[in-house]
Amino acid sequence: MSRLLPSVDSFRIGAEQTLPFSHSQSGVKELGDIQNLGLQTLRFPINWADILPSGRITIKQTVLDNYDRFVDLLLERGLRPIADLSLSTLPVPLEDKGGWINRDSIHWFSDFAALLADTLGDRMKEWLTHADPFLHSKTLYRDAKDEGVRSPRKAWTASHHLLLSHPYARDSILAERADSRVGFGLKFWPVFPASDRTRDHLAAERFETEHHAYYLDLLYLGQFSEAALHL
């Protein structure tokens, strides 16, 4: 049975590493531990800012090569790799242009996905574009420490652009590697009113809309519900 191991920071291959991950003794040991658990799949994050620090054009080839070798290492050990793009840090030049608030972020992300598919897609067939976009946008904007950045409205704008970027990135990946499988990750929680009071029912409905319906309606129905439009 194939089981999915959540992404962990120890498998982040960043610009700060001077040696490819495949040459890291501790990293190889951890992969051995994963095999001993009987796991067959590893989902690992790929960081946008490390590969394209200037934004879109100049590729940091040494970092991309690290990911390339890491995919080979996983396959050599019988582990099926899944690329997780959801934990990507935006390159600073793109943050300076507004980040996920800028609608152009949809196309920036699509181009990034195409680059990865072209480089790694001959061996890696499964991709996750975003996971838990509510938490991502909430962390970036709704709960931002900088008062100039903190804004619920910006958080919803970012969520919207994260959602819209998924089909563009999916199409870019499939254009490079038609045999790829591309998914979108969401987290779900059961929601129940704390009491029979009206305000508790309304609070539960709002939570359901914010965390679930807002994303599912657009992904599967192609439109927002009336409740989502009034968040």
Is the confidence at residue 12, as pLDDT, over 90?
Answer: no
- 26-82 pLDDT tens trace: 556 677 777 777 778 888 889 899 999 988 888 999 999 989 988 998 898 888 999
Query: Which conformational region is residue 99 in: left (phi greater than 0), alpha (psi within -120 to 50 degrees), or beta?
Result: left
| pLDDT at site 3 | 37
129 by DSSP, 3-state: which?
Answer: strand
* Residue 216 pLDDT level (bands cut at 50, 70, 90): confident
CA–CA separation, 97 and 186 (whole Å): 27
CA–CA separation, 15 and 26 (whole Å): 18
Structural domains in the chain, CATH included, are: 4-187 (3.20.20.80), 190-231 (no CATH)
CA–CA separation, 118 and 127 (whole Å): 13
pTM across the whole model: 0.80
Is the confidence at residue 21, as pLDDT, over 70?
Answer: no
| % of the chain exceeding 70 in pLDDT | 81
